[in-house]
Structure formats: structure tokens, C-alpha cells
Amino acid sequence: MKKITISFVLSLLVSVVSFAQVDRSEFPKAGPAPIIKIGEAETFTLDNGLKVFVVENDKLPRVSFTLVLERDPLFEGDKAGLTGYVGQMMMAGTTTRTKDQIDQEVDFIGANLGVSSTSISASSLKKHQGKILDLMSDVLYNPVFPEEELEKLKKQSLTALATSKDEPNAISSRLSSAMVYGKDHPYGEVTTEASLGNVSVEDVKSYYNTFFKPNIAYLAIVGDMSKSEAEAVVKKYFSDWKPGDVPKFSYDAPAPTTKTTVGLVDRSSSVQTVIDIAQPIDLTLGDEDYISSIVLNQIFGGGSSSRLFMNLREDKGYTYGAYSAFAEDKLIGQFSANASVRTEVTDSAVVEFIYEINRLVEDGVTQEELDKAKSNLAGSFGRSLESPGTIANFALNIERYDLPKDYYETYLQKMNALTVADINQTADDLIDPSKLYITAVGNASEIQEKLAQFGEVKLYDNMGYPAKEMAAVDADVTVETVLENYISAIGGNSAVSSIKTAKMVMDADVMGQKLTIEQIFDNPNMRYAQNTLVGGNVMQSSRIKDGKGVVSVQGQSIDMTDEQIDAAKLDTYFLPELYYGTMGYTLTLDGIKDVEGTPAYKIIVATPLGSSVNNYYSVESGLKIKNENPISGDTFYKDYQEKSGVMIPMAQTIKSAMIPVPLEAKVTSLELNPELTEEDFN
């Protein structure tokens, strides 16, 4: 035990007094940034031009191989989506192995193997490195590109594309890219059903034969392997890889807008607006402004203590989070700031975004903000060094961007040397508050006029193309005439009103599982029953009768509130348009809208308690082609067929946040005017 002496007690008291005298209200002053000794990657180059970087780390008996192709960005044009298939097609089988055999052999040794259009990565235990390299090189040299695999991938892509067309963030991303870069730029083009359909196996082969060349490739090896062993291994597996000429591409830099412009995608069912504010910037890794842009972003919108977050979430409560980014790129970078906000505060949120952007450029940052940002970023940088992969990535960056050899060793020194004036100069260099692209995805009828204060509002569709200009509604067209035309189009008032009851069954496939929706309608008695079955088992059901409603989910029943019943009654009737007038609903004609290329009258149907849906009726045919419901999602009606003198849609596409992919449902059973019993609604 330490002997307690008078000198020891005095020293302890001095320490306590000193601690108490520290001013905890001030952020600690940063000390001098250390020079970080980063283990350098050892390098060598094969005769075919393949450049290899080796980062030895024997702490674990593992090794990883990452092959990167350094090619120019591609404008894919009428074959947009092609590069998304290359990696999967290369993994779909070789001249010696089927796809299943590749997967099984990788799994058997507990390894990983992945391929994209610009990379191949593999990792395994040290003892299995020969096996994983054999698989990696087989995929690299001998892919067979099976036709049936491409067809399967196309179906998956079309499903994903259909989902993204109704996903607000995906729509926002396409719109922002289209406005910032333009549709004739690699970063602005979009994948469409047509462009996916244009991609052939020969296109995939041509890409592979053109770009998979060692003379534009880098191979990073990280793990339990020395340089001498790496040289032997790489020569064994990659020296036969033949070099070749690889085409180069250049593109005109996107011209910034001459004034702030607003792009809007109308998504009527949205209760939130996705806002993105962006502009192109000239920023590349290693630029004079690069490190300072990282610090600038940390202050502006890099986390939960940033200006945007504190303003829009903590102070105003408009959103769950607001963020920004300064994205570097060899071709063209981008500044962006974004958030999802409640519809009613859309314009207020944009005001705060612009206020913060102007304040950043005009007033700059404070020393306290700079010190905090440096501290946070230094910690993140230090933690990143714990991963050997980081060291390999540093080595690749130094080579690819022609950086000084000590760029990362002196990274913290360079960051620590930045002053308030440096950060403010970077803000001034990179951001022009007078030339912003503001994009919004939300309910246009609620936000379009409010957004006009920020600049000219241009309407776009969900793929980022200018929206088709819709004709104005003729003066003689009213809600009543639209609904009358609809009733006439499906068979006339006499035939439609003769349908009092109905039983309908729809089947769909969800991720390989059969989904069945059973519905029973009793119009005269305002009764409704619905069952949803998965694999033949009832997963959810609902009943409305005698003014009451019950929802059951996997056997657990819950009584509906008055508001829920009010909303559910919008779907209670079979062919509900016949009953809108007797239900006390408010009907509003909200112009002509573009529904997947079809001009349609939009009618807002609102209940006395405030629930609402939007219905769309084709201007040409009069048929209802879409329903937007904020609870159940969007339903598209197709394949109208005559049943008992009435045209009924026998297919529906249902898009909802509650299901991962669009539901393609087909009517497999339809009974009109069946006799119903009390049991049908129990």
C-alpha cells in the first residue's frame, strides 16, 4: 500500500484545486496534430500492367483481394442499366462451374466473392486463399454469360424499377441528378423499362471484353501475406490476363443554373415532402479545398450537432433529420442538402435551408465550430485506421489521384492547420447561394404555389423528365360530369346500380409466396369483409357492419376507432362512385394529371371526418385508372372486362410502403349479386 505522507496529501490537494479551477464552459484547445505513421503498402507491377498493393497484417489468419478497374464514367444511353448486370452475369457461371457450384464452393470454405462492373473482391481464411483465388480468377477469365440469367435479372430489375417509381427518396434522387447534371450526362441519365429491354447478352460480353483489362486495374491485397508471397501468388493467378486498349470518354461539365430553379414531382398521396437542394461543384480528392470541405460539411450538415440538424429538427421540429454533403468526383462533384419534412411546412423548411446556406457563405463559421468539427473528424479518422482495408484504400487513392506519398500521414496536420478563414474561403469557393437547384417530391396541390417564392417551379415526372403539359380542364367539365362519364363508360347507371352485392378474390405472388385477397361487399347494408391470406393462412382480416369495425391480425382483434371506420368506408362499396352523393363526401376536381403517360381527371374524395383518397379517371376512356390512398397505397386498375353488363378491372397493381415490391394482383373469382349471410361478416 502507498504510504500517505504530507507531501502526497499536499500534491493531491493541488490536483483537486487545479481541476476545480478549469473552465468547463470552454471547449478544450486542440494540441498539435501528430504525424501518423501509417504502414505503407508495398507495391509492384506485373508485365501486363496490373498494379498491386500489399498491406501485410498477420493479426488474423485472413486475406482479402480487391481488384478495381479505373475506367471513365459511361453514358449508357438507350442501354441504361447495362453495367448493373455485368457483375451478376460474370458470377452466373464459367466454362468450368455453374452458378450454383460457384456459390457452393465459396460457402463451403466460408469465403466471400463478389463482382461488379468495376471490381472483383474476394476474402477467405489464409489456408483457403488458393481456393478463393482459383474461383476469383475463374470468374475473371471464363464467364459464360447465360441468356437465362440475364432474363431473370431483367425481371428483378423491372420489379425494382416499378418500386422506385413510387419511392419518394428514389424519385428525389433521380430528379436532383437530372437537374444538376442533365439527362445527357452519365450522372443524370436514368434506367427505364425500355433501356433495360434493350440490353442483350452481347452487350454484357462487349463491356466485359472492352473494360476488364489489367492495364487499367489495381489489385489491393490485405492480410496475412508478405510482399514476396504476394508476388508469387499474383503472378500465378493474374499474369496470363491479357492487356488491351481501353476507350476514354470525356463529357462537357454541367453548366450551373443561371438562377435558383425549383423542380417538383407531384406525389399526391404524400404526407411529407422530400427536399433536396443541390448544385454541381468542382471538387476532386486531393484538391486544395478537399479536406476543408469535409470540415465545412461537418459544421453545416454532417451530423446531429450540425447547423442544419439543430435548426430544422431541434429548433423548428420540421423533420427527423437534415443533412448535407460535399461529394468529390474526378468528373464533377456536387453540393447537396436534404430532408423529409411535413407537407404543411415545406416552404418554411426551404426558407431555413436557404437561410443557413446564405449564413454559411456570408457570415462564415466560428472558431468554436471549427474546433469541434476538427475533434470529431480526427476521432473518426483515427478509428478508421484500425481497419487494414483503410490502408489499402489510402494506397489506391494515392496512385489513382496522384497524391503526395505522405498525403494521409500528414492528413491530420493539414486538417489541424485549417483556420476559420480557410473554411470560409472554401464555402465561398464551392457554394453559390444564388444558383441553387431546389427539388421537392410531394403533394403539388399543397406546395406548388408556396414553392414559387424561391424560383420558377418546373414540374417533372417520377423519372426526372419534364412532366407532360396537361390541358386545362374545360369549363363545362365538373366533378359530376367526370363521375357520370365513368358510370357510363363501365356500363351505365342501370347496370351499375343493379349490382348490390359482390364477392371477389384476387391472387398475387409476393417473394415466391402466394397472397390471396378476399373481399365481400354488401352495398345496401353498408357491410364489408376482407381477408388477406398468405400461403393459405389468414394473416389479416377486417369487418365493417352496423356502423362498427374490427381488424384482426394473426388472431388478435382490435376495434376500429371512428376515424378508422370513416377512412375504411371509402373502400366499403363495390363500385363506390355510385354512392358518393349519399355519403356526405366532399368531391373536388383537381385538374388533369399525368398517370403513367395517360391524362386523367383527378378527383379528391374527402369524408366528413377528414379522411381522403384521390381517384384518377382517364380523359379519353372515362375509366378509373388509379386510386391513391394514404393508408393502403396506390392502386392502378387494368384489364377491364365486361361482367354482367358492367366493365370490371380484372387486374390491379398495388404499390404500398407495407409491401416490398409492387403487387400484381389478378381477379381469379368474381360473383356479382350473390346471396350473403350473417356468417360472411363474422
Written as one string, the DSSP assignment of 195-241 is HHHH--HHHHHHHHHHH--GGGEEEEEEES--HHHHHHHHHHHHTTP
At residue 610, the pLDDT reads 87
Q: Rounded mean pLDDT of the chain?
A: 91
Each residue of 227-275: pLDDT tens digit? 999 999 999 999 999 999 999 999 999 988 999 999 999 998 888 999 9
Each residue of 70-110: pLDDT tens digit? 999 999 999 999 999 999 999 999 999 999 999 999 999 99
**Angle (nearest 5°) at CA 94 between 93 and 98:** 45
At residue 14, the pLDDT reads 33
Per-residue pLDDT band for 31 (boundaries 50, 70, 90) equals low
Per-residue pLDDT band for 29 (boundaries 50, 70, 90) equals low
Each residue of 420-447: pLDDT tens digit? 999 999 999 999 999 999 999 999 989 9
Domains and CATH numbers, the chain: 42-167+191-238 (3.30.830.10), 261-460 (3.30.830.10), 479-681 (2.50.20.10)
C-alpha closest to that of 601 among 490, 478, 496, 487? 478
Cell of 642: 365486361
Give yes or no for a contact between 409 and 38, defined as CB atoms under 8 angstroms apart: yes
At residue 3, the pLDDT reads 37
Pairing mode, if any, of strands 456-460 and 261-266? parallel
CA distance 487 to 491: 6
Cell of 496: 351499375
Give yes or no for a contact between 193 and 160, defined as CB atoms under 8 angstroms apart: no
User: Given a cut of 60, is residue 378 above it in pLDDT?
Assistant: yes
Region 621-634: mean pLDDT is: 91
Cell of 100: 450454383
Cell of 525: 347494408
Each residue of 517-564: pLDDT tens digit? 999 999 999 999 999 998 888 889 999 999 899 999 887 899 999 888
Each residue of 57-74: pLDDT tens digit? 888 899 999 999 999 999
Neighbours of 433 (CB within 10 A): 18
C-alpha closest to that of 441 among 424, 467, 462? 462
- Tell me the helices (H) and strands (E) count for the chain, helix number first: 20, 25
At residue 360, the pLDDT reads 97
C-alpha closest to that of 96 among 46, 137, 148? 137
User: Given a cut of 50, is residue 4 above it in pLDDT?
Assistant: no
On whether the pTM is more than 0.95, the answer is no
Give yes or no for a contact between 53 and 221, defined as CB atoms under 8 angstroms apart: yes
Per-residue pLDDT band for 5 (boundaries 50, 70, 90) equals very low
Percent of the chain surpassing pLDDT 90: 78
Region 477-495: mean pLDDT is: 96
The H or E element spanning position 67 is strand 62-69
Pairing mode, if any, of strands 217-223 and 51-56? parallel
DSSP state letter for 117:
S
Pairing mode, if any, of strands 527-534 and 62-69? unpaired
